[in-house]
Amino acid sequence: MTQVFFKEKGWSYLNELPQDQKAVVLCDSNTRQCLEFLHKACPRAERFPVIEIPAGEQHKNLKTCEMVWYQLTEHGADRNTILLNLGGGVVTDLGGFVASTYMRGIRFVQIPTSLLGMVDAAIGGKTGVDFGGLKNMVGLFSRPEAVIVDSNFLKTLPANQYRNGLAEVLKHAFISDVDLLTLIDGSQDELISRSILVKMEVVNCDEFESGERKKLNFGHTVGHAIESHLLDTERAVLHGEAIAAGMILESFLSNKIAGLAKEELSSIVEVIDSIFSRLELTGSDWNSIKKLMLFDKKNRNGSVRFVLLKSIGHAVTDQAVTEHLLDEAFDFYMSK
């Protein structure tokens, strides 16, 4: 099981590595500003070489991986080197994939600097990159040696990026721990630790997503398709914005198929709308989004499968949905 360290315990873990331990830091053009904090918390990291990639989901691809692999060889990284992934979901996803394939696998440590990274992307051992315009199509399950969570990084996070991470917190609340909703305006550290606990409990039951772990994909079947559809356009949206839209549509489907009460559907929509604005989508957008759903990794034999809610806190997997109901869900989303 991957160890998750909070604040001082995490930095102690790094500072206590053997003195001859080789390490390389991976960051992006946004999280380069976090190097100063990393060096203060872990002085020995000042001597670690840094690889910087361009920021943004559009750079989470094999071309960027190739550049990182090349620079690892330039820095003399060997099979005993540790890759320290300092960044949000793009850096931890791509960095974990790069480390897991370089020299058939080297150790890596996730140091998430965004709320999204702390409560979701860095936890659970999923690594990967986008391919052919599709989210996370190339990747593997690979456990980091450790995850270091320090909410002090969030002081540098823009408001829209913090909101981006709240989508995954809401998802954890809706599938497992509704009390998380009461913490959104409260203690940041408690919000993060409680949200991490939800994900770790699910992952520990089903590491390789054969059953229980699929519940973590609530909102993501539609959400990933929306994100992929808009990715290389002027209307590109953040991951959390797409997932927020996906959760509204999939909550509507939950009411139609899985037994979610109308009152609970209204509660979910009200919470999401209080944090996220609705996306502006056209009928043409929706036709493309539906086609992209066919590539979702939970599908079986060409049939689109969803994670839906029987009630808030109780998710069910492998729910088949007709195209007619998908169109009804889209109309519901666009009706506000």
Element (H, E) at 137: strand 134-141
**Residue 36 falls in the annotated catalytic set:** no
**Residue 164 falls in the annotated catalytic set:** no
What residues does 305 pair with on adjacent strands?
A: 320
Check 163, 171, 194, 213 and give the catalytic one.
213
What residues does 39 pair with on adjacent strands?
A: none
**Residue 305 falls in the annotated catalytic set:** no
Check 136, 239, 241, 264 and give the catalytic one.
239
Element (H, E) at 311: strand 305-311
Phi/psi for 129 (5° steps) reads: -135, 165
Check 163, 224, 229, 305 and give the catalytic one.
224
Strand pairing class (3-6; 82-87): unpaired
**Residue 52 falls in the annotated catalytic set:** no
With H, G, I as helix, E, B as strand and everything else as coil, classify residue 244.
helix
Counting Cα atoms < 13 Å in the Cβ hemisphere of 269 gives 22
Instruction: Round to whole Å and give the CA distance between 6 and 4.
Output: 7
Check 209, 227, 250, 264 and give the catalytic one.
209
**Residue 104 falls in the annotated catalytic set:** yes
| Contact assessment for residue 130 and residue 230, using Cβ atoms and an 8 Å cutoff | no
Check 171, 199, 214, 305 and give the catalytic one.
199
**Residue 234 falls in the annotated catalytic set:** no
Sequential DSSP letters for 3-47:
EEEETHHHHHHHHTS-TT--EEEEEETTGGGGHHHHHHH-GGGGG
| Contact assessment for residue 220 and residue 243, using Cβ atoms and an 8 Å cutoff | yes
**Residue 220 falls in the annotated catalytic set:** yes
Instruction: Round to whole Å and give the CA distance between 231 and 212.
Output: 29
Check 135, 143, 194, 220 and give the catalytic one.
220
CA neighbor of 177 nearest in space, from 151, 150, 152, 195 = 195
Check 57, 136, 143, 168 and give the catalytic one.
168
Q: At what angle do helices 239-253 and 159-175 cross, to 10 degrees?
A: 30
Check 47, 104, 262, 324 and give the catalytic one.
104
As annotated, the active-site residues are 104, 126, 168, 199, 209, 213, 217, 220, 224, 239
